[in-house]
Amino acid sequence: PGKARPSGQARVWDAHTGEPITSWLEFDEPVSSAVFSPDGRALVCLGPATSSTDSALKQHLVRVFELPSGRLRFPPLEHRDTVLAAAFSPDGRILATASADRTVGLWDALTGKAIGALVHDGCVKELRFSPDGGWLAAVEQTQVRIWDVASRTQITSPLKAADEVAD
């Protein structure tokens, strides 16, 4: 028996010509979302945003591919639970990843080295950097936390919403 066939694939296409830029990027789980780096030279791919009882699925991994080669930039980044969102800082030097493990991972986007973790009360479902990259907004179910990226401290109390915060 040969290598098991991947259950998920992603590919980058040129929007002007309709031609593929990369070969198929293969995964051991379906791909649910992808995020480009600001310079377009990297692509982050995430697995499904649902938990699985199949231990063979690696939904807690974040893969960063070099473009246009399609090679992994570094080994997959790991959380303890499903990864729900990812965002690059505007300068492309920091990658933030949000997980159902109630953490936001901060990573060096060029090397994959962990910079720090931001601990939350609930699952973070969306991430946004400020235009200068100094702050990070992390959206939970009914609140938003604003973090100072350099010091990894909250700059305000959580901003509460009466209802669920929209994506």
**Which pLDDT value is given to residue 54?**
47
Residues 77-103 pLDDT 10s:
888 788 889 999 999 999 999 988 889
Predicted TM-score of the model (pTM):
0.83
Q: In the structure encoding, which two tokens stand for residue 132, read together? A: 């200068």
Provide the 10 A C-beta neighbour count for residue 28: 15
Question: In this predicted model, what pLDDT tens digit does every residue of 4-63 receive, in sequence order?
Answer: 545 667 888 889 999 988 888 876 667 778 899 999 999 998 876 554 444 444 467 888
**Tens digits of per-residue pLDDT, 114-135?**
999 998 988 888 999 999 999 9
Q: What are phi and psi of 40, to 5 degrees?
A: 75, 10
d(CA 154, CA 109): 22
- What pLDDT shows up at residue 78? 82
Is the per-residue pLDDT at 66 higher than 90?
Answer: yes
